[in-house]
């Protein structure tokens, strides 16, 4: 399991953030930046979103994700948060018709039920999840020689499933991802950041933007 520490900042401050990162010894760009698209699933009454807002010690996110414009290569992703530590299960799609997105995370998806853990498959069966919002953004990747990963998500866009209206976030997000063994190295990096960490969920922000849940 790993830590994920987020630092949202106004998009006009991107040059300040990039300049501060360039001064960090041992930090280099890891990959070419790419677009990330995710569709988040939840119950009819947004139970999973409310668990996030309430800060439940153990909570989940269910989504599908693909990169750039290759939506036929989406993966299923189930994120579990246990207090401050999180982990992610990733399952490659099996050619399920993308137009059948309504049934990706319910008992009709036999492929997923057969390949997920007992806990995950149990939740999929009982929650009857539906696609709620789509989140898209452009991500830059960095790697520190200590093993700490950094990403910057910019041009963040939110869409309600079934609606054509797009909402653009005024914030970008710098995120630190690291294992428990890299905790001290990560804390040194975060301590020297020009902005302070705080909770920030793109899924929750998306719900707020499409008027499904008032939070931000």
What angle is formed at CA 36 by the lines to CA 83 and CA 139, rounded to 5 degrees?
A: 80
**Per-residue model confidence (pLDDT) at position 46:** 95
| pLDDT score of 213 | 75
Where b means 16+ CB within 10 Å and e means fewer, 86-124 reads beeeeeebeebeeeebebbbbeebeebeeebeeebbebb
Confidence (pLDDT) at 97:
64
pLDDT along the chain (216 residues), means of 10: 96 96 95 96 95 91 94 92 93 77 91 94 95 98 97 97 93 97 96 93 95 73
Element (H, E) at 140: strand 130-144
Residue pair 89/64 in contact by the 8 Å Cβ criterion: no
Give the max Cα distance, the chain. Answer: 51
Rg for the chain (alpha carbons), in Å? 18
Residue with tokens 């599908």: 64
pLDDT score of 57: 87
| Residue 31 DSSP one-character state | S
Residues forming beta bridges with residue 76, ordered by sequence position: 64, 91
83 backbone dihedrals φ, ψ, rounded to 5°: 60, -120
The whole-number pLDDT of residue 72 equals 81
The token pair at 81 is 């948060």
3-class secondary structure, 201: coil
């Amino acid at each position: 399991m790993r830590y994920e520490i987020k630092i949202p900042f106004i998009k006009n401050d991107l040059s300040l953030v990039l300049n501060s990162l360039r001064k960090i010894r041992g930090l280099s760009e890891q990959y070419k930046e790419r677009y990330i698209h995710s569709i988040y699933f939840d119950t009819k009454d947004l139970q999973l979103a409310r668990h996030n807002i309430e800060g439940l010690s153990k909570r989940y996110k269910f989504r599908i994700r693909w990169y750039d414009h290759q939506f036929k290569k989406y993966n299923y992703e189930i994120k579990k948060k246990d207090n401050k530590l999180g982990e992610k299960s990733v399952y490659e799609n099996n050619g399920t018709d993308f137009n059948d997105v309504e049934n990706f995370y319910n008992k009709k998806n036999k492929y997923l039920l057969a390949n997920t853990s007992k806990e995950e498959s149990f939740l999929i069966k009982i929650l009857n999840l539906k696609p709620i919002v789509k989140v898209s953004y452009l991500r830059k990747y960095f790697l520190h020689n200590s093993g700490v990963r950094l990403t910057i998500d910019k041009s963040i866009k939110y869409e309600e499933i079934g609606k054509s209206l797009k909402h653009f976030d005024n914030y970008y997000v710098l995120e630190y991802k690291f294992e428990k063994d890299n905790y001290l190295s990560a804390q040194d990096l975060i301590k020297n950041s020009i902005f302070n960490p705080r909770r920030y969920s793109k899924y929750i922000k998306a719900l707020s933007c499409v008027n499904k849940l008032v939070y931000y």
